[in-house]
Amino acid sequence: MIQEERNVAAEVLKAMAHPVRLGVIEVLAGGEKTITELYEELDCSQSMMSQQIKILCQQKLVAIRKEGTQKYCSLCNRDFLKLFDCMHKHLRKFLNFQD
């Protein structure tokens, strides 16, 4: 990677570096969800969810489509789910987390 790519990659990783945002990506791995479904499933406020979705959208990790009054979220790039597999293995192997 060249320096510019490393800088942008760091910004994308920063966008993921929050428990709620990680939860959003994890939940959306199962398919499209409304903002309401996301904040209910992740047990946070609507305003908190809106802030977190905005950050994920800015880095093109999540896309939003509107249908009537509902906003539906989906993953832009399912390849990012591979990071979750790597993190899962790291937590278990090196940080002693259990399933």
If phi > 0 it is left, if psi is from -120 to 50 it is alpha, else beta; for residue 78 that is alpha
pLDDT at 59: 97
Give every residue of the chain whose pLDDT is below 70, as ranges: none
pTM score of the predicted model: 0.92
Helix axes 3-16, 19-28, angle to 10 degrees: 90
Is 46 strand, coil or helix? helix
Long-range contacts, 84-87 (Cβ 8 Å, 24+):
84/25, 84/26, 84/29
Residue 47 contacts residue 85 (beta carbons within 8 Å): no
- In tens, the pLDDT along 21-49 reads 999 999 999 999 999 999 999 999 999 99
pLDDT at 33: 98
What is the Cα–Cα distance from 25 to 17, expressed in whole angstroms? Answer: 11
* Domains assigned to the chain: 3-94 (1.10.10.10)
DSSP 74: E
pLDDT at 1: 87
pLDDT at 13: 95
In 3D, which of 64, 87, 88, 66 has the Cα closest to residue 76? 64
